Structure 1
């Protein structure tokens, strides 16, 4: 079928909105009409070739929409179901069977190879040339997507679907790390390094769990002001404060989350840990090496990476939808909406810090 999609054709280039062809779903697939999709830094990392996947490709992996077609072998879905799209998994390997699907042994094949697992294409351009697709099992910078039952999560019909797509990646990464990994309590001092969408989601989840003290670190004053409104008890503005001195004055942290991938911030986060403290790394940047003093680590300090919040999306996404509707996870405070043909403006606003979570829209949810 003919659909509209934003195509990434050149490294560091702009997206072009084009008419492309989407194949029909196989017996074990669904077709989803997108209502909206978030723009995540992982999408931008492909354009910038920090993650050097081949182009041209249709990116997008925070989709939300309505099921339009259901393959003959798919159960549990019907046309009209509202859904959020997330990362794809095999469902059968050891991590998937142990309810840690974010560490699926087939994650690269199912999310980054630009095709179905059998190598067949899902998308071609108007000249019949193959386009990279199936990005995170969806390629949701488009009006329609082919998906798998394993990365298609049904959600409540009374929730605002246009807001929910980022729960499929960025917001579940931050919140899931808090809920599933760190689990802060009333005596915990948590440092959140970077207050983009992932950091804000971590902060909101930490407040929802009753974390005792939440320190937000950034260099954008408007984001720090919002962080305070969303639950930060303390803020550090690195544009005017020395980070190390400020962290020391606050007595350090029990737990830290770095969402930036910036070596200096990672080193500061690790350096601020109290004995037996944990620093979780969620971000990536073009700077991939960090120099650390190992002596403090001997006192029980820990550094670990976490993918997708170590979450089972079928559990976490409905939970976060409930939290939003209860007023405990106000994702609307982070979001700004752009029609598909303004995708390059949305990317620019994300880069500049003007918008925390840009969301592309494709029409109404009805």
Structure 2
């Protein structure tokens, strides 16, 4: 087994504990990745705080990027030395997967939150042999190495800044994909995002790429609203000071064509629905605790022909969408690096605190140099 350094969660609410652990060698369909950097996502905190039923102890982290060190004997997708982004896991054999709806895999929850491979096995243990849950989103990348199925690794160009790219595997592709793949925001349309974190601001950049001409951000953090304008928002609303529904309806002369809710708060979802135009569509990407319910005015939705859709991982097909986002970044059209602040693995609890306080929009935990 390979010795690794990783951050574990052993109790509800944390903290992350940096420990020496041991990792299996790759199975025939797996690859071993030397992790260069891993983004920290709201979903990591959701798992830490047990808002979702995730087994403990576990190594979290699901926005990894790194270099392939070893490949299993049946792996054909990548080879040693390739630079890769790690993304979510899907089974590949259920009905949604077979029709290409990867983010709605029937086995999505156990594969991404179950703390094990599809067969229930784990690959990580303590020095004394005690099992540690892993394979969080198929990767558990808050560590120096990650063992990943070839299905959820995405090859990226060697000249792309690998330490930046991990968040493309979840949070960034969720926001951008919600706009481009799921909502299908159109040129000349109006778009409003309720929540100006990493997902919401990624949606802003994608809406600009898609050609929306009115782009509105509602949030409570002034610095996020200022950054939103820099990234392409045409209007911003501080929802602590102004009714965001009234503001959006005034700016758009009746309501937005598309809205996105990324805060995970039921009352904010209601705002996103109420702010829609006739025939508008609201996408939901915020992740509250399991069992949380929300309400809306049924007649307002029905008589206005509004649509409300759930969106997972931006409905992204990662092998196609992540390289596209990398190319947009390279061209200067998707500057997601403006969301980022770097931390060491030993600073992981500070990164989580800064994220939750809104001090940092997208923390990235830097683990190694990117040289192959």
| Conserved 8 A contact 1:3-1:142 | yes
Q: What's 2:103 paired with? A: 102
Distance 2:298 2:109 in 1: 32
Q: Which moved more, 1:51-60 or 1:246-255?
A: 246-255
| Conserved 8 A contact 1:28-1:72 | yes
Aligned residues: 366
| Conserved 8 A contact 1:266-1:290 | yes
Match of 2:366 among 352, 361, 366: 361
Distance 1:157 1:242 in 2: 46
Q: Which moved more, 1:242-251 or 1:14-23?
A: 242-251
| Conserved 8 A contact 1:185-1:212 | no
Residues 1:255 and 2:258 are matched in the alignment: yes
Match of 2:324 among 299, 319, 324: 319
Q: What's 2:282 paired with? A: 279
Residues 102-121 of structure 1: pairs in structure 2 closer than 5 A: 102-121=103-122
**2:202 aligned counterpart, secondary structure:** helix
Q: What's 1:50 paired with? A: 51
Q: What's 1:301 paired with? A: 306
RMSD in angstroms over aligned alpha carbons? 1.1
Q: What's 1:5 paired with? A: 6
Distance 1:283 1:28 in 2: 33
1:76: how far off? 2.8
Match of 1:352 among 352, 357, 365: 357
Q: Structure 2 length as normaliser, TM-score?
A: 0.96
Q: Which moved more, 1:237-246 or 1:214-223?
A: 237-246
| Conserved 8 A contact 1:87-1:169 | yes
Residues 170-185 of structure 1: pairs in structure 2 closer than 5 A: 170-185=171-186
Distance 1:114 1:209 in 2: 37
Q: Structure 1 length as normaliser, TM-score?
A: 0.98
Distance 1:108 1:244 in 2: 33
Q: What's 1:289 paired with? A: 293
- Structure 2 alignment gaps of length 5 or more: none
1:212: how far off? 1.4
Distance 1:113 1:225 in 2: 38
1:91: how far off? 2.1
| Conserved 8 A contact 2:144-2:368 | no
